[in-house]
Structure 1
Amino acid sequence: MRTQHSPGRVIASLAGSTALVLAVTGTPAHAQGRDPGRQTLPAGDGWAAEGPGTTGGAAADAEHVHTVTTWQEFQTALIRGGDAAKIIRIKGTLNATASGCEAFEAQGYAFPQYLADYDPVVWGHEKEVSGEQENLRVASAANQKKAITALVPSHTTIVGIGSDAGITGASLQIKDADSVIVRNLTIEAPLDCFPQWDPTDGPTGAWNSEYDAVVVHGSTHVWVDHNTLTDGRHPDSTLPSYYGEVYQQHDGLLDVVRGADHVTASWNVFKNHDKTLMIGNSDSAAATDAGKLRVTLHHNVFDGIVERAPRVRFGQVDAYNNHFVIRADQPYVYSFGIGFESRLVAEKNAFTLTGGISAAGILKKWKDAPLTARGNYVNGRPVDLIAVHNAEMPEEALRSGAGWTPTLRTKVDDPRALPGIVGHRAGAGKAG
């Protein structure tokens, strides 16, 4: 087991105050050596730096530092010690579905029979599916959920060791926790083995899936940094179609929902995915979400993303210094989704658009809410995103002025330099 560098030996943890872990030299933990497991979020680095900041498991003693190489070891390490500060170092790729979808099937479930029973020619589009095969699908889905869900407790740092560390087939759920750090991992979006057919979803029905790669649910002070989140080996283009609709087996890459607050996502690569990053999951969730869902997104790459980069409800979201790459051969709907009571600030981002895609489509109005969009560049030139959107889509006109000014920022780079900066430094294997 790898131990921390001696200069960074922790001698005190000031719980309930600034939550900074001090080394022998008196330097903050985020400045200690090059051990990413002992690093904490730098002061002022986005919403997760608010108040006590985000320290994860930096104060863990030797008993609560684990190196894992299998999914089962990882799940055990998460549970061990409860909410005591812990560091979990992941070596290699952990596969939560190595045994295949068949291992989760309830006895009697048969997908060919499911297709036969709920074929719209037989079932129609007027009512939701029910009956034996749907019940068995639900049971099968419950088996998968139990196997692939990892609940991350408070005061935890999860960090990949080396350039090839990752997780595939799993859903990391940071639920009702405080002070969690996830770094340096390649996370392949889980495949839902048992999507549900909903014949009432739209005019022709749709397949609906579960399982976000990472979800922050009701948690506070979360730092997601230097990861690569992607569909990986299973892009949507490889998924089959049934009943004339794509058999959708993916959900989100990173969702921040249900009253989560004070989150920073930095230096990540989000790649080749459809519904990528949702902040707030329902217009009717004011009781839990109003005044929360404060999220900072900076120095991330969104490459080949179809939509939700992010889609925002309620939250004060600061999106600055991100690079969005929209390719000519990909489907594209929008990048920033303006939702119910959202207050998005989008500043000094860079967009690389190819194939004649209009900058007017970068913004999407779901509900009327003001936003700030300043200093953004498209293909190396400054563009007023709100103005071009309103000029081309006057029926969906957006209001300028989010009504707040972000203060929790560290270095803000010239957006013209972002493709080079984040191209070399963002993503898994580059933390430290």
Structure 2
Amino acid sequence: MKAQKWHGHATVRAAALIGCTALVLSMTGTTAQAHTRDVTRQTLGADDGWGSYGTGTTGGAAADAAHVYTVTTWTQFKAALADGGTAPKIIKVKGTIDAVSEGCDAFAAPGYDFDAYLAKYSPQAWGLDTDLSAEPDDSPEGLRRASAANQDTAIKANIPANTTVIGVGKNAGFKGASLQIKAVDNVIVRNLAFESPLDCFPQWDPTDGTNGNWNSEYDTAVVYGSTHVWLDHNTFTDGSHPDGAAPTYFGMLYQQHDGELDIVRGADYVTASWNVFTEHDKTILIGNSDSESTAVGDRGHLKVTFHHNLFSGLVERAPRVRFGQVDSYNNHFVADEGYSYSFGIGKESQLVAEHNAFTLPDGISAAKTLKRWNVSPLTADDNYVNGTLTDLIAVHNAEIPAEALESGAGWTPTLRTKVDPAKAVPGIVDCGAGAGRLH
């Protein structure tokens, strides 16, 4: 998917941006802006989504002066994360920090050669019946594994409990990094532009599908078994490496991206507000497996709220949901010709999707906004498609009766601040969402 596809909505976007400045200044009830003028110490407001449940989400708001950092390099960022353990900390990111500034070659294990990899594992030479898991360490696959391990260590950053990571100044963000919010409580990530990490060493799996497939690692951000997380006013994009520009090998796309945001392994109490998710394929995954061993830890968890986010130029998973009670309201979904679906209805999911707006181009039906992976009831009321009130479930069932959906998620969200009229959502969200728009 090429970055310029968004340009096809230029007229819609231009109209939505009229009066943006006045609109942003007038918005209320959407974040914790009233709590303090120092945005680096802002906390998630009361009743602002699942992240506000119980003890709420305060991040590093209580940090003392010794635990407030300003970082401009990847090394400084990792050092700040490691300093002070779980004491409250605020990390201010200034400028764009590149986690892969030396390029992919810096991670390559001695002897690794991509041409040799292609030669050995081509379908003509290797076939499509045997995966590569048993390949020895000195084989092309073994050297790829070693190279991938080097990248894994280099680009992942573990965010400790009681931490706020926030962009300051202009153009703050990360390129090629993977933030790991893993088994911790109380984290805030705000006002950052993320360019999705590029897997330098994707793995070829001959047994994946009929023709084999390239599989990649590294989500931009992962919430793994963590609680009380607030992601706000960030921008997630593939940036300078869109899938549409990727080559093909063995007749399959050389996929170097994974997800933009995964919330998995019993994670709970997450609010994602005023973010932009754009130009990506597999965008957001909530619950990573249908397996019973995973389900044991996910049932009763994965409670997530999405509000006032812009989802544009995506293929799928905005989000795809398993198990969780997910509340998605006041979001704007802008599709293009590469669109597959927005909401994925997965195993035992309890999705409430209300007061959202969809902008779909000619030729894409509102029936595609929902995709059924498993039979799980959902609530989908008061949603507008191209300015018209539309019953998404009814349209889906009429056009795709073999994958009929049931109405009624079985719960009613109560943790919401100001709910805007769905018809006004495109103008409000397009004006206010994303990095650089935090006031």
Q: TM-score range by the shorter chain?
A: over 0.9
Partner residue of 1:97 out of 95, 100, 103: 100
Corresponding position of 1:127: 130
1:312 aligns with 2:321: yes
Say whether the 8 Å CA contact 1:321–1:412 is kept in structure 2: yes
5+ residue gaps in structure 1?
1-27
1:41 aligns with 2:44: yes
Q: 1:336 to 1:29 in 2, by over 3 A?
A: closer
User: What does 1:233-312 align with in structure 2 at a 5 Å threshold?
Assistant: 233-284=240-291, 285-312=294-321
Corresponding position of 2:367: 360
- TM-aligned CA deviation for residue 29 of structure 1: 7.6
5+ residue gaps in structure 2?
1-30
Q: In structure 2, how many angstroms separate the alpha carbons of the residues matched to 1:293 and 1:31?
A: 29
- TM-aligned CA deviation for residue 226 of structure 1: 0.2
Q: In structure 2, how many angstroms separate the alpha carbons of the residues matched to 1:404 and 1:297?
A: 16
| Greater percentage in helix | 2
1:116 aligns with 2:125: no
Judge which range, 284-293 or 211-220, deviates more.
284-293
Q: 1:367 to 1:375 in 2, by over 3 A?
A: same
SS of equivalent residue, structure 1 residue 373 = coil
State percent identity of aligned pairs. Answer: 66
- TM-aligned CA deviation for residue 356 of structure 1: 1.4
Q: In structure 2, how many angstroms separate the alpha carbons of the residues matched to 1:170 and 1:421?
A: 30
Q: How many residues align?
A: 403
Corresponding position of 2:148: 141
Q: Which of structure 1's runs of 4+ aligned residues deviate more than 6 A? A: none
SS of equivalent residue, structure 1 residue 431 = coil
Corresponding position of 2:15: none
- TM-aligned CA deviation for residue 419 of structure 1: 1.0
Code of the residue aligned with 1:364 in structure 2: it is K
Q: In structure 1, how many angstroms separate the alpha carbons of the residues matched to 2:188 and 2:68?
A: 14
Code of the residue aligned with 2:113 in structure 1: it is A
1:230 aligns with 2:233: no
Say whether the 8 Å CA contact 1:29–1:38 is kept in structure 2: no
Say whether the 8 Å CA contact 2:35–2:43 is kept in structure 1: no
Q: In structure 1, how many angstroms separate the alpha carbons of the residues matched to 2:256 and 2:208?
A: 16
| Aligned-residue CA RMSD (Å) | 1.0
- TM-aligned CA deviation for residue 244 of structure 1: 0.5
Corresponding position of 1:343: 350
Q: In structure 1, how many angstroms separate the alpha carbons of the residues matched to 2:210 and 2:289?
A: 22
Code of the residue aligned with 1:319 in structure 2: it is S
SS of equivalent residue, structure 1 residue 157 = strand
Partner residue of 1:385 out of 382, 389, 392: 392
Code of the residue aligned with 2:123 in structure 1: it is P
Say whether the 8 Å CA contact 1:60–1:84 is kept in structure 2: yes
Say whether the 8 Å CA contact 1:326–1:332 is kept in structure 2: yes
Say whether the 8 Å CA contact 2:59–2:163 is kept in structure 1: yes
Offset from partner CA, 1:201-225 (integer Å, 9 cap, x none): 0000000000000000000000000
User: What does 1:172-187 align with in structure 2 at a 5 Å threshold?
Assistant: 172-187=179-194
Report 1 or 2 for greater relative contact order, CA contacts < 8 Å, sequence distance ≥ 6: 2
Say whether the 8 Å CA contact 1:163–1:430 is kept in structure 2: no
Code of the residue aligned with 2:63 in structure 1: it is A
Q: In structure 2, how many angstroms separate the alpha carbons of the residues matched to 1:112 and 1:32?
A: 57
